[in-house]
Amino acid sequence: MHYGYHIEIDEIGAWLPLLLPILILHLILFSVALVDLLKRDQSTDYKWLWGAVIILVNIIGPILYFVLGRRQRSDAPTSSKSTPKKVRKS
C-alpha cells in the first residue's frame, strides 16, 4: 500500500493504531517465512532468491514463499529424497 508523500509526522500518530495490526501480521508472516527458509537444506542461490522475494515483496512475498517455495521437496515426483521420507513419516 502506498500512503503518499506529504505525510506529516503527527498524522502518522493518528493512523498508527489502525495500521498496527497490519504491521504485526506482516511481521509474523515475514519472520516465520525467513526462519523457515534459513532452516531448510537448500542451495545458497535458492535461499538468496527466496530471501529477496520475502523481504522485498510486501505481504505477498512470504505467502508466495509458503505456497511455491516450499513445494520443491514434496511435489517433485522424480526426486529420490521425497519418497522414502514420506513413507517413513506415516
How many Cα atoms are found within 13 Å in the side-chain-facing hemisphere of 5? 0
21 touching another protein, by CB under 8 A: yes
Given candidates 34, 36, 40, 46, which one binds another protein under the rule CB under 8 A?
36
Minimum Å gap between C-beta 90 and another protein is 7
Cβ proximity to another protein, 36 vs 46, nearer residue: 36
Residue of 34, 36, 63, 68 whose CA lies nearest to 51:
34
Which residues in the 56-75 window bind another protein by CB under 8 A? 59, 62-63, 66-67, 70-71, 74-75
Does residue 2 sit in helix, strand or coil? coil
Does residue 41 sit in helix, strand or coil? coil
